[in-house]
Structure 1
Amino acid sequence: MFPPISVSRVGEAVLVIDFGTSTSSAALVSSDGRVRLIKEPGSGSWSWPSAVCADGDRLLVGTTAERRKRTDPASYRAEFKRDLGQQAPIPLGDRDYPVSALVTALLAAFREQAGEPVRRALLTVPASYRPGDPRRALMIAAAEAAGFDDVELLAEPVAAALAPLSGEGFGAGDTVLVYDFGGGTFDAALVRFGGDSGNEVLGHAALDDCGGRDIDALLIGHVRDSGGAELAEALAVPAGAARAVRMRLGLQFADFARGIKHQLSDVTEVEDFVSHLAPPSRVERAELTALVAPVLARTVDCCRELLRGCSVAADAVTAVLLVGGTSRMPVVADTVARELGRPIRRPEDPDLAVVQGAAAHAEGDTGRVLLGMLEAPGRSRLRWHPPAGSSLSRILIDAGEKYAAGAPMAVARDSDDLLWTLTAGSAAGTVRDWIIPAGALLSATDWPVTVTSANRPIRLHRSGTINRVFDVGDARSVAFSPDGRWLAGGGRGVRVWDHAERRLLLTLSGSTGYLLDPVRFSPDGRRLAAADREFLQVWDLATGDRMLSLEHSATVDDVNFSSDGRWMVTASDGAAVIWEVATGARVRTMTHEYPREDFRRKGSRSLTERLRGRPAKIKRPNVYTVAFSPDTSVLVTGSNEVHLWDVANGEQLGTFGNAGDVAVSPDGQQFATAGYNPLNIWTNGPEHAEAAGTRMEANALALDSTDYGWECPVFSPDGRFLAVGWARSIRIFDAQSRGRLDELAETRVDATVRSLDFSPEGEYIAAAYGNHVAMWTIGVPVDET
């Protein structure tokens, strides 16, 4: 029916940036996999000049900087990629800037032009930036200063090899020599496609002083020499002229030479004027070919040296892939084909090959996730097995904070500057302390963090002991805060207590005057969400202020947060809607439909009450409960059938059973259903896999013959127990052994139980019923393996 739930990174937008010496480009890979090149607003081009110009306290970038350079050449700078790593600052006007600040300005411009908040960046870097090269760290720091939280690096030749090609693409086993001739540098790399490790870089070489700008300099010298005294007189700068005049003339001559070079890629002869006072300058393609021959010879020698260093014969190379703007010159392809004797292949767009290939890499990247391993049940250390040479890049859950099962806890960076998400695995808990700080090396033998596991086994009492009772008018919902200190009850208003001190902390009111049901804490405990008729209200618990009020087309029946706190999901009007917590933006809607065969909804008194005045006739089935899987990759919705949805793209993964209420176990592998049929636990896991796919195994726990009346199931934090409301009682089952009712606990109350929740450590259970929210001590945490 559907694949087992597994821990994987949810789709997230990535901004891919090719920061080049002369031009740069970027592409946004959205969360649904679509790729969009970022157009420069100043020119409408996909390629942005890698240039900056100081304008007061701000830095202009790209074409805007290019247009300003003639009026203020002293404040202009291009090709600063060549300066990356130098200690001396770059003077722009009357101020000095670190080179990294110029890089940050360009990256920030791309991020702003992306049109949406982007947290992740993938930057391409030359193959000469080997692991440990300080320029790699400078690129990462510049991107972080531009507003990116997570920054990865990818070698430019690897990206270029993945670009769309003119003709048939490369396949497994092909060995490709990437010949990247850009505006400022020449890079060569040998890439082998396929294999267990994917596309492998066998070796690389580079010439940092060999690029299109060096050819421009040769062409400028040729024009000057061939122009004679008449050109020299026309270009002479008067004695005592300002420095800006000399700089302006130099920039003008460079633009002229670049224009000549580009034209000679299409025609055999060009005649043009450096200025309106200068005589015409005529250049033939044959002259340019002779000028660039020594430069091309250096690039060919670089490639041959690379092949020798990799012990790869030239005839073992499938093809030479020409990328970079300078490779457009006809003489480049002719020279490389003649000297190396291998077929020549080209990308569809040599200028955009690197960014398009990097976007393809990001699009196919499903994420690198490492599951946390607890030392032992109830013990206090957690570790991961990262690749050799990894470091702890960023801590996501600080000391003293709670985390859910499967929640991302930190990010690790490997030696190739690729990022790995370190998750909590199947155990929830609280971080006590990080032994290894951010930035330090991380090995497979380290225990980097000490924790208090919420999954300590609970020894259950045969009969629970009530120890707290709080008053709430028409109590409908109850929830513990993630740290277990606070208890919230929803009904006619929301009340939040410090249950240990029996002290009321907050009273919150809705805007419609109706019941507030259900209530949910965010994973960080800073927000509280409650359904308020057709609205979802979200409050800041520190101030009591309402942060969001999200309107729906019908009554909101349920709400839940994702484990990382980034998303909320609501059930309303036959659909589940995912919202972004930070902005309140609607992200995705998953609509339930009746199956083709007729479906007659069976109702009970409690389920009918939950309709809260809806019309009796509905066009699609109601959605009563919604919940994310622990890793947020799957959404579970309870309706006429239980539906599973892929959060990343909104596609339905499968259905099973039918229920109004659904609970998901902490490890995401079990589902408890109640409402329409007897209470059931459904197991989803590899042990139930068949040749045709994965099936769901159901075990009815209730030995009572009554089909209806089971409500609000909830798993204990360790996943061992299942609590459920039935009429005026709370019944607790062993979710692992499917224990009989009389072997565990049952608690009687004086009204119908409408909501249940376990405390984070599993020692208490709270219930909403009648006009009360009550707490029972149901077990004692024990240190057992």
Structure 2
Amino acid sequence: MGEPILAIDYGTFRASAAYVVDGQVELVRESASGAVSWPSSVFADGENLIVGTLAERRKRIWPAAYRGEVKRDLRREAPVVLDGRTYPPARLVTATMAALKSEAEAQLGGELPRAVVTIPAVYDPAGPLRRLMIGAAEAAGFVDVDLLAEPVAAAWAPLGAGRPHPGDLMLVYDLGGGTFDAALIAVGSSGRHEVIGHSSLFDCGGRDLDQLLFDEILSIHGPSLEPLLNPTGPGEVFQTAARRTRHELIDFARQLKHQLTDVPMVEDVFGPAGLLVGIDRERFVQLASPTLARTMACCQHLLDAADVPAEKLGGVLLVGGGSRMPVVADILSGKLGVATDWPPQQLFVPLEPELAVVRGAAAWAASVSTRRTVAARPSPVVQPARWEIPGGTATMVRWLAEPGARFEAGTVLARVRLADGSLFDLAAEASGSLLHTHARPGMAITEHDWIATTLPTSPMPLGQSRGNGNGGGGADLRGGTIERSHRPAHLVEVSMRASLTGHERDVTSCDFSPDGRLLATTSKDGIQLWDVNTGRSVDELAVPGRKSSVPNSCAFSPDGKLIAITGSDKTIRLFDVATRAETATFSGHKGPVYGVAFSPDGTLLATTSTDRTVKLWGVSTGKQIASLTGEHRGSIFGCAFSPDGRLLVSAGAEAIFLWDVALGENIMKVPGHTNFANGCAFSPDGLLLATTSNDGTRVTDVPTGTTTMTLGGSAQSCAFSPDGQLLATASTDDVARLWDVSTGVEVATLSGHSGTVMSCAFAPFGLLLATTSTDATARLWEIIYTR
């Protein structure tokens, strides 16, 4: 029997699960209700946490011990109070997952050590919410936890005869109980779908439609309900009775909404008040249309951001219980033309939209045997082994084989977590023995790293004697004579050489002169030049008659004779370094100018602005040579030339682009970032491109355009060391970080600033790093390799 896996869709309002064994999928039914969709609710009964339908029932007795929609609490990070006790939100998630696991194992008759947990696509790969979901699942008893983006899971859902085709762009419209999520999916072959973009509304879901009906009932029947909702009399008894009635009325409103999905008019009795309530679908549509219009605006924003017109969509996949309402299809047809101007099969509707995510996650889990890679073919002698990893980088989760163990071809030796949160298995291509492991759990690895040393086709367990025909013994191959062909991460020592004080405002950028003797810094209070050896300010560059202009960034020319300063007055100014005099002013941008870079030969100057353009200027003439427009849709904050001067990268609020300098044409949109890119830098050999954003730092292989490394934490700026071995990032959490470029391992944290670190730059020789901060200082750091 194959490895059993439990797929879990933990939604804001409801949760569901399905276990997979040998490709067969079985939905998990709640014992209390027999339903396959459980309420995501928790009730505190003393020290015990009761979940699901039982929690829903008990809330009527004691509402203060009840909590629904726990998933929303994860974002708030504040403890949840139940009946006077406080609980971390993740603890409540664990309670539901543990109940799902227990019920599934009872139905299966065996253990389920592995789970696939679906998460919103909006969860940042480097953020805390993914870690919280993994931790909650592990606390529920799962050993291995995959994370799967909900829109990708939905795209795996059974759809019957009509299905999107590989290569199609599909919009996932997911109206759940508590939130709305839209995602643009590139449909891949064999289910290898990719999330192109996503957008969410956290206050727009089925619960909000329930509230509209709740308010409608109050507006009509308020006098009859007033004594129950606002009883007169002091004490907890009356307050509890009022909360109980409100819970019951919102549940009643939800039942009316569900009935209106199937019939045009509904009447029902609200028992606590003995009240006959009626509503028709037309009135509900009037109430719901403004809320649902927001979902369409969210979809349109997503398409605009991805630059995908609606007519290029291959279809729309309706997901979530809320999408069953006829009004959803009506609004879709009115806004995007789906189901009206398009052929009918372009609207994909699962038989049970509320179960599409869990069914899709189960189908994805059934493909687990295909999500593995084998080691690169080893030579007949002892050597380290490496694996091809989707996306190029991963985090080691655990080794499944111990050093000294023998293995057969196809044996899974290790399990890693990919950047998207899913687990991936590293298998052996041929039989052999595992000598050493070189990556510990939690370590970042790349497909270039040699993470294990193996001996192919070892005839016996390691450490035993091996006959040689003369009765001689063999050596113990676990000794220290085997050398790795790929070095471990660098070890460094960092010390602060100087703190440069003199600015009175945020210090926004810095740059070393080519000879390494001067450091230039910009701030709202001006531009200063510092002697690197002494750490003292040697001069301040003045902008005559422009006191209102705020300098944004600076760059020395390759020959060290000029320094360029960008400003809020829409200009770029060149200063003679020797005389400190302004020699030229470049005008042409229509907004504040931020990024600036000289070409390696010093003939061109590139600048970026909030006017969404990249401009190239002749340094000697001061004339604008080209304006690179039409690609960026927002402000552009950074730019950098490749070492050979052929390429230019521009980092903007919504995208990063590579340009051919000679042609002035965009040649690639750099993938990966989803939120406010700002910094960029090429490695000294030009083969790697580092970019920073609020969602972290990415390293891209320039020849192929593939992401080779993802480094966590919001960052403002980045710089490669002159030898290309280290990458520095300036972080929003008041520190700078040093990363080993080959391994992706953080090798040092530079602490000392008391505000956001805005920029960083390496001196042209040796390992001297400058950082600037909103604490009005710049700092110089000495770095020494110790390994």
If the length of structure 1 is used for normalisation, what is the TM-score? 0.54
- In 2, Cα distance between the equivalents of 1:129 and 1:385? 26
Correspondence for 2:307? 311
Amino acid at match of 2:444: L
Q: Is the 8 A contact 1:367 1:420 kept in 2?
A: no
Correspondence for 1:90? 80
Correspondence for 2:212? 218
Correspondence for 2:60? 70
Q: Is the 8 A contact 2:396 2:417 kept in 1?
A: yes
Shift, 1:300, TM fit: 0.5
Amino acid at match of 1:143: A
Q: 1:460 to 1:33 in 2, by over 3 A?
A: closer
Correspondence for 2:405? 402
Amino acid at match of 2:38: W
- In 2, Cα distance between the equivalents of 1:377 and 1:22? 56
Out of 40, 58, 62, which is 2:48 matched to?
A: 58
Q: Deviations over 1:447-471 (max 9, x none)?
A: 334568884999997744399xxxx
Q: Is the 8 A contact 1:183 1:213 kept in 2?
A: yes
Q: 1:464 to 1:73 in 2, by over 3 A?
A: same
- In 2, Cα distance between the equivalents of 1:54 and 1:461? 66
Correspondence for 1:291? 287
Amino acid at match of 2:295: T
Q: Deviations over 1:555-601 (max 9, x none)?
A: xxxxxxxxxxxxxxxxxxxxxxxxxxxxxxxxxxxxxxxxxxxxxxx
- In 2, Cα distance between the equivalents of 1:223 and 1:153? 41
- In 2, Cα distance between the equivalents of 1:315 and 1:12? 42
Identify the range of structure 1 (452-461 vs 207-216) with the bigger mean alpha-carbon deviation: 452-461
Correspondence for 1:414? 418
3-state SS of paired residue (2:318): strand
- In 1, Cα distance between the equivalents of 2:207 and 2:45? 26
Q: Is the 8 A contact 2:38 2:52 kept in 1?
A: yes
Correspondence for 2:696? none
Shift, 1:483, TM fit: 10
Out of 229, 240, 250, which is 2:223 matched to?
A: 229
Correspondence for 1:359? 362
3-state SS of paired residue (1:84): helix
Q: Deviations over 1:8-39 (max 9, x none)?
A: xx832111111111111111111x21111111
Shift, 1:424, TM fit: 4.5
- In 2, Cα distance between the equivalents of 1:391 and 1:297? 41
Shift, 1:258, TM fit: 0.8
Q: 1:113 to 1:449 in 2, by over 3 A?
A: same
Correspondence for 1:27? 18
Shift, 1:304, TM fit: 0.8
Q: Is the 8 A contact 1:374 1:380 kept in 2?
A: no
Q: 1:462 to 1:211 in 2, by over 3 A?
A: closer
Amino acid at match of 1:193: V
Out of 270, 273, 287, which is 1:274 matched to?
A: 270
Shift, 1:285, TM fit: 2.0
Q: 1:430 to 1:263 in 2, by over 3 A?
A: closer
- In 2, Cα distance between the equivalents of 1:78 and 1:199? 32
Correspondence for 2:6? 15
- In 2, Cα distance between the equivalents of 1:462 and 1:98? 63
Shift, 1:55, TM fit: 2.0
User: Is 1:331 matched up with 2:327?
Assistant: yes
Q: Is the 8 A contact 1:166 1:346 kept in 2?
A: no
Give the gaps of 5 or more residues in structure 2: 340-346, 480-787
Amino acid at match of 2:265: E
3-state SS of paired residue (2:445): coil
After superposition, the CA RMSD in angstroms is 3.1
Correspondence for 1:248? 244
Correspondence for 2:36? 46
Correspondence for 1:439? 442
Identity of aligned residues (%): 43
Correspondence for 2:135? 141
Shift, 1:234, TM fit: 4.7
- In 1, Cα distance between the equivalents of 2:191 and 2:328? 32
Q: Is the 8 A contact 2:229 2:242 kept in 1?
A: no
Correspondence for 2:350? 347
Amino acid at match of 1:61: V
Correspondence for 2:179? 185
Structure with higher RCO (Cα < 8 A, 6+ apart) = 1
Q: 1:333 to 1:166 in 2, by over 3 A?
A: farther
User: Is 1:36 matched up with 2:26?
Assistant: yes
Q: Is the 8 A contact 1:314 1:342 kept in 2?
A: no
Correspondence for 1:684? none
Shift, 1:422, TM fit: 2.2
- In 2, Cα distance between the equivalents of 1:255 and 1:90? 22
Q: Is the 8 A contact 2:228 2:242 kept in 1?
A: no
3-state SS of paired residue (1:18): strand
Shift, 1:378, TM fit: 5.0
Q: 1:130 to 1:337 in 2, by over 3 A?
A: farther
- In 2, Cα distance between the equivalents of 1:403 and 1:460? 15
Q: Whose radius of gyration is greater, 1 or 2?
A: 1
Shift, 1:396, TM fit: 2.6
If the length of structure 2 is used for normalisation, what is the TM-score? 0.54
3-state SS of paired residue (1:352): helix
Shift, 1:235, TM fit: 3.4
Correspondence for 2:651? none
Q: 1:410 to 1:265 in 2, by over 3 A?
A: same
- In 2, Cα distance between the equivalents of 1:119 and 1:276? 45
How many corresponding residue pairs? 460
Shift, 1:376, TM fit: 6.1
